[in-house]
Amino acid sequence: MNARAVAIDVLARVEATDAYLNLVLDQRLAETPLRDPRDAALVTELCYGATRRRLGLDRAIAAFSDRKLHALEDRVLAALRVGAYQIFHSRVPRRAAVSETVEGLKQIGLSRAAGFVNAVLRKVAALESIPLPPESDLAEHLSVRESHPLWLVERWLRRHGRAATEAMLVASNDAPPVTVRTNRRAGTRDALAALFAEAGLAATPTARSPVGMRLSSPGPVESLVGYPEGLFQVQDEAAQLVGLYAAIPEDARVLDACAAPGGKACHLAESHRVLAVDLYAAKLDKIRSEARRLHLEDRIEVLAHDATEPFPASIGPVEAVLLDAPCTGLGTLRRHPELRWRRKEEDIARLATLQRRILERCQEVVPPGGLLVYAVCSTEPEEGQDQIDLFLRSHPDFTLETPALAERLGWPLAQGALRTLPGPDGMDGFYAARLRRLA
């Protein structure tokens, strides 16, 4: 099976099931024999590239399709996007992009659609570039050029202005590096860097996080030196900063209220006792498995519980609560490009309501003098700063407290809270606030 066939199938599955692209892709690559080991990298590029660049690709495809795109079968539309992506955004010769995509469609049993896809892609290939709206309509121009939904571009322009918005859009289309966090119970960052260098891996220390490393083209993470021994965990630099910004006293018992997939729970467990809570038991099993790999199983308990409901008294006392709340995920579009097409503007208010409900339950278990750390991987103020402003107005017994570490290391702060945005720093967009209940 050629790489285009696999990419078409992956994209169609993602569209049909609303699953995360990375999960479907990993599963498909694990179960599919490819002609060349290098084809796995090509499949990955095609899947992520066609998803990131979907809006512009669809604009070009629609100009030559006699059928509405939403009426096409998922696999046929996926084939058109895979072909158009290669035409406009890869070094593949245009003739080969068309022929190999059509061949891939045949390999997955859709020979009946091969003529239609071939005809459309040949016309698309005759275009010099994707037709863009005039720059006089800046929001729509950027929306198509950088392939983001118009409502999101308009929001970012209003709040950040043109230069910052363009930087955020461009960064959200970049392929993110593999970033790992040193397991401090297993060694130091310097020791991990030396191990990577000995193995011939190109790795550089993260600029903001004192425990992170960035790797370029490392291949499958599970095959990296030090992975089986639990020397590191994959985690974006911004997410690492959240755990460090929390600055929870060592050996405190911490409730991680929405713990899956477990990166922050494991980070905290390096120096704290952690009760990892999530709604779904299957996700807790994955946290257990990762804790075992990192040799942190003695530091993490798990509990299946709906965090919108009161926590049971049986959880016992905790000194701090981390709430990495369910959110739009708009700060992680480079990692999860499918989210830009699934999220609607009204989702922001809906999720903000859910966040408030969970915040209320979390504050109930914070003792006097204890900490409540709130975080979201979103760029939107309704989920971040506005949420905390509202919480502090309704809970005068809490105050926002910025840790000295954040100020000393010059981390990006907004009104004392941690805030990172997609852009030149190469991090995901995160917001985190550290709240202290007055004694």
Q: CB-hemisphere CA count at 13 Å for 365?
A: 27
- Give the 3-state secondary structure of residue 172: helix
> Which of 62, 56, 41, 120 has the alpha carbon at shortest distance from 341?
56
How many whole angstroms separate alpha carbon 322 and alpha carbon 258? 8
CA distance 267 to 183: 8
Pairing outcome for strands 320-324 and 253-256: parallel
Question: How far from the centroid of its chain's Cα atoms is residue 297's Cα?
Answer: 26
* Distance in angstroms (rounded) separating the CA atoms of residues 69 and 102: 18
266 flagged as catalytic: no
Rama region for 256: left / alpha / beta (φ>0; ψ in -120 to 50; rest): beta
Tokens 């922001």 locate to: 348
Give which of 258, 315, 309 is closest to 287, Cα–Cα.
Answer: 258
Task: Give the Cα separation of 60 and 58 in Å (integer).
Answer: 5
Please choose, from the candidates 301, 293, 290, 297, the residue with its C-alpha nearest in 3D space to the C-alpha of residue 256. 301
Distance of alpha carbon 182 from alpha carbon 186, whole angstroms: 8
The SS3 call for residue 202 is coil
Residue the block writes with tokens 């095959």: 223
**Straight-line distance from the first to the last Cα atom of the chain, in angstroms, rounded to the nearest whole number:** 64
Beta bridge partners of 253: 273
Q: Which helix (H) or strand (E) holds 21?
A: helix 21-31
**Residue 159 phi/psi, 5° resolution?**
-90, -35
Measured CA to CA, the distance from residue 405 to residue 247 in angstroms comes to: 8
d(CA 205, CA 307): 36
Instruction: List, in order, residues 6 or more apart from 281 with CB less than 8 Å away.
Output: 304
In one letter, which amino acid is 413? L
Rg of the Cα trace of the chain?
A: 23
**Could you list the active site residues?**
377
